[in-house]
Chain A
Amino acid sequence: MAIKSKKKSIKQAINTENATDHDDYISLLFGSEGIVAPFLCIAVFGLLVRLAVSLHSYSGAGNPPKFGDYEAQRHWMEITTNLPAKEWYRNSTSNDLAYWGLDYPPLTAYQSYVHGLLLRYFDPDSVALFTSRGYESYLGKLLMRWTVLSSDALIFFPAVLYFVLAYYGSRPSGRKSDVIWHIALILINPCLILIDHGHFQYNCISLGFTLAAIAAILSRKDLVASVFFSLALNHKQMSAYFAPAFFSYLLGNCLWQKNPVLEVLKLGFVVIGTFALIWWPYLHSTDGVLGVLSRLAPFERGLYEDYVANFWCTTSVIIKWKRLFTTQWLKLLSLGLTILSCLPSMIQQIMAPSSKVHEKSILLPLLPATLLASELPCLFYVLMHYALFSMFPLLCRDNLIVPYFALHALFILLYLAPCGRRLLRPHFSAVDIAPLSLTTLLYLCSIVLHIVYFTSHPPKKYPFLFEAMIMSLCFSHFVFLALYTNTKQWMLSKQLTSRDKEKKLS
């Protein structure tokens, strides 16, 4: 594929006449409309893809006694709609925490409550206390799917629009089709769609808030950003992975102001206020707060509930740890990737120790578009490929192989979209040979592993051999890419600072 498009790009470079008119499909279709019209189309298409994926199976479908994430979410709706807020995180006769106990922060609980009300209105059986365990029906599935879809459409999509407006609004240069290509890749992110609308989770909410926080930072509204990020943290503790970046940036920004103490106080007040509002039902006693906190920290869970051991009792100890590692890691991945697609500098901040991070590096998007565009698409593609690949075993278990391949293909197609091709051209011509050949080799390996995993059974001695292979391949890639981005970003930020100096001088 890469070679093909390389050839094509050379050919097109030769045949530059009329290239601008020929390539720019966006302007052919949309004329001189702004970003909003194409955004609308892509958003509708994104919704369509999500709806189509939601026709397929979900995790743990028809698989008693524990089912899967779908049942967990449904159970939370059952608990939140039937019990008072104080009981949600507490083990009691009516709330058996060993069975998918609530272990996400309160905002998730509120979201479950709202969605639970919706389910109760249309299908009361699906959230009845006790009797609804393992409830599966056509209408129930449909309603559950629609709750994810509506949260996606109401939180993630506007956040993307906000991000794009903030990101591209500040600089006039940049081709419109590049912007639209970018929007398409963010909105039709296969990992996110597969996990949320196939496997069944609500990542779109916390990711949407994080994205909105980034957009707010880009438009220099630090207080708004801190509110959004607090919301994201309160929806999913996994968002804490972004916390170092946000924290260091926001703090650093305050310190650079004229009146640092006041700025920090303002920020602290906003963050604490948001937290207090969300944690209100549990703030009456320290026990309440600690009770919730102990639910959120996963290592305590194993201590007194034996929840994990129950779940994996059939597998050996080694496998258990491996599995634990992978599923958690997957969630992290799906989170990390989406952000990465929007803001590459993020990963540097996550990977690098927070104290060292130059607070200006979050302003990296302000760099000329060509720098980002020439460096990142290919990287982004490789990363997405392995992120998807690492989900492959999980999705196989969920019977989501067909959407997996379809979305993978869709992603490749979007990546190679006629209007985005110009972005890829400089990269292919100016890449080092050694990393490229290594990546190609590993890429081929991953394709072979797909086929092997799909067609043959592993030896009985090592039932999870292929999973382990897939994970190690992916993991090595992530380490490699993390190192690569780190060095690249450091170089970029050096360039940035030197450029700043030049500006100041001139």
Chain B
Amino acid sequence: MEDQKPQFQNQSSISQLLWFFGIAATFKILLIPSYHSTDFEVHRHWLALTHSLPLSQWYLDETSPWTLDYPPFFAYFEYFLSFFARFVDPQIVHIHEGLNYKSNAVIYFQRVSVILSDLSLLYGVYRLTRNLEPRKKVLLWVLVVWSPGLVIVDNMHFQYNGFLLGLQLLSISYLQEGRDLMGGFFFAVLLCFKHLFAVAAPVFFVYLLRHYCWKGLVKGFGRLSAMGAVVVAVFAASYGPFSYHGQIQQVLARLFPFGRGLCHAYWAPNFWVFYIILDKGLTFLLRKLGLEIKAPATSFTGGLVGDSSHFIILPEITPSTTFVMVLLSLSPCLIRAWKNPRPGSVCRWIAYAYTCGFLFGWHVHEKASLHFIIPLAIVAAQNSEDARHYFLLSIASEILGDNSFIRLMMRDVTFFYAASCYSLFPLLYEAQEYPIKALLLILHSVLMWYGFSAQFTPAEKSGEELKSKGGSGSVVQKRGFHIGWAGKSYLFGLLLIEIWGQILHPLLLGDKLPFLPLLLVSLYCAMQMMYSWIWQLRWIMMST
């Protein structure tokens, strides 16, 4: 009987989790006709490319500007999907005729593939939460399965982040259970799907080495070789065929295009925004002081993606600089992980690693904020301080995801401008989707607010009941979850910036300075990111 009971609970929790997923899925299906960015065509082209070319040509092909720049497992994934795609409509997978193909068939096929691949996220969440108490469980499901950032980026913008994050959660869940080998395996698989997750690799390396392999000389060596064999096997399965064709150099060149600029698109909301602004400020100051400074040909405000930028006064930033910066910022966490490798902290460390990568990385995309938002959601259910931190961060990062969406559309529009002068379009192109995004954010915030409040109130209530028993009858009922005046004013500022960008700026300035609202949002969110980084760092250092 005792054995049966947890199993029954598991079953019912599966069906309930499926319910949450189903609600999300029906909504995602409704979103199928919404605007999709160029990433849609990117993935469509990859379907065609993997289907109609031999494997040796995958990383060489240049039929479309959207060359394959994800690791091989993702290419295999597209190859797998392409069989179904051909079944649906052969033109989807035709390498030349399929270019910019936009029939209903291809839209529905690709959108549905994203919705179905989210099952991986579902399984990851299920594994992670199955041993939690119901209250936390529900909260986590709401935070992850109904994450608005994922909906916007995956189901409107078009990407497969839910699928990849599912693998990430799976790996974390294995690590938390102490099954390090499986955890390592899934992380290796994840790396072969999308290399941007490699930021967390040092954390995994140190943790696994210390927690799994550091068990005496003989046993330790055995475990080290087991782990090594697993990782090597995964990488061999992924990169092996390309190494057989002697294309490793080519694949790596595609994966790490260092020719691109420091910041993705115009203003990535990370540490480098402050650096750029410092540079601009210094230039301005020195010019005022009478020094003559030559302005470079391209600047951040006007450049397109791919332009490498030039700083005027401050030293140039190279990929290796950012690499060293990321490692440096990671090092406190690595030391912690080495000294005290607790499975309970793994999730926090991984989130921290992605935060570092986001803040100091090279050519960072705003969407990368999803990488740390989802693991942080899991941490957030643990205590109210984490919850408060998460509340603000997730709102900021969702606006960022949104922002990146706008930015990509801006890029499309800039291309569009070159072809024809269509003056009304830029003001309208996101009007249809904007209310959806705004309401998603509002719904998420409200759910988070009440969820966290319900989560963290009871403990404090009992404390207060004790107090009120002591005699003071007029104890004001205080919430267990509150964001404080700083948080409130931050949110208020965010609201003001959003209103400025959406309503006031187009009204007052019209077409002038089109990137000013985006700049403001980036800058404002970058502040939140920096704060969040410091906060996480402090937490990691304080924890014992």
Contact = CB atoms under 8 A, between A and B. Distances in A.
B31 A52 contact: yes
Interface string B429-442: 00110011001101
A402 interface: yes
Given A31-B453, A416-B19, A45 B443 contact: yes
A52 B16 contact: no
Contacts of B27: 48-49, 52, 406, 410
B513 interface: no
B30 A8 contact: no
Interface string A65-92: 0000000000000000000000000000
Contacts of A403: 30
Contact of B443 (A25, A32, A48): A48
Nearest to A24: B134
Interface in B23-67: 23, 26-27, 29-34
Given A22-B134, A53-B30, A55-B432, A30 B19 contact: no
A27 B458 CA distance: 12
Contacts of B22: 409, 413
B269 interface: no
A505 interface: no
Interface in B147-186: none
A44 B134 CA distance: 25
B457 interface: yes
B325 interface: no
B8 A409 contact: no
B515 to A, nearest CB: 24
A56 interface: yes
Given A21-B134, A31-B450, A402 B32 contact: yes
Nearest to B30: A52
A52 B436 contact: yes
A41 B443 contact: yes
A47 B81 CA distance: 34
Given A48-B439, A52-B30, A55-B432, A418 B454 contact: no
A41 B30 contact: no
B285 interface: no
B19 A29 contact: no
A29 B450 contact: yes
Interface in A1-60: 8, 11-12, 15, 21-22, 25, 27-33, 37, 40-41, 44-45, 47-49, 51-53, 55-56
B19 A51 contact: no
Interface string B130-158: 00001100110010000000000000000
A417 interface: yes
Nearest to A414: B23
A48 B453 contact: no
B450 A55 contact: no
A346 B295 CA distance: 76
A55 B134 contact: no
A142 B431 contact: yes
Contacts of B451: 29-30
B288 interface: no
A413 B31 contact: no
A30 B134 contact: no
A29 B29 contact: no
Interface residues of B, number: 41
Interface residues of A, number: 42
A311 interface: no
A55 B30 contact: yes
B447 interface: yes
A226 to B, nearest CB: 35
Given A30-B450, A410-B23, A49 B135 contact: no
B454 A30 contact: yes
Nearest to A45: B443
Given A29-B454, A409-B22, A51 B32 contact: no
A98 interface: no
Nearest to B142: A29
Nearest to B432: A142
A337 interface: no
Interface in A129-160: 138-139, 142
A27 B26 contact: no
A24 to B, nearest CB: 9
B135 A28 contact: yes
A423 interface: no
B63 to A, nearest CB: 31
Contacts of B478: none
A213 interface: no
A292 interface: no
B377 to A, nearest CB: 15
Given A44-B443, A55-B432, A409-B26, A28 B457 contact: no
A410 B436 contact: no
Given A31-B454, A55-B34, A139 B26 contact: no
B447 A29 contact: yes
A413 B446 contact: no
Interface string B11-26: 0100110010011001
Contacts of A56: 30, 33
B469 interface: no
Given A44-B446, A55-B30, 4 more contacts: A49-B27, A139-B431, A142-B432, A409-B26
27 contacts: A15-B8, A28-B135, A29-B139, A29-B451, A31-B454, A32-B454, A33-B454, A40-B446, A41-B443, A41-B446, A44-B443, A44-B446, A48-B27, A48-B436, A52-B30, A52-B34, A53-B30, A55-B31, A55-B432, A56-B30, A56-B33, A402-B29, A402-B30, A402-B108, A406-B26, A407-B30, A413-B23
The 8 closest A-B pairs by CB, nearest first: A31-B454, A52-B30, A410-B26, A406-B29, A44-B443, A55-B33, A406-B26, A28-B138
Interface of B: 5, 8-9, 12, 15-16, 19, 22-23, 26-27, 29-34, 108, 134-135, 138-139, 142, 428, 431-432, 435-436, 439-440, 442-443, 446-447, 450-451, 453-455, 457-458
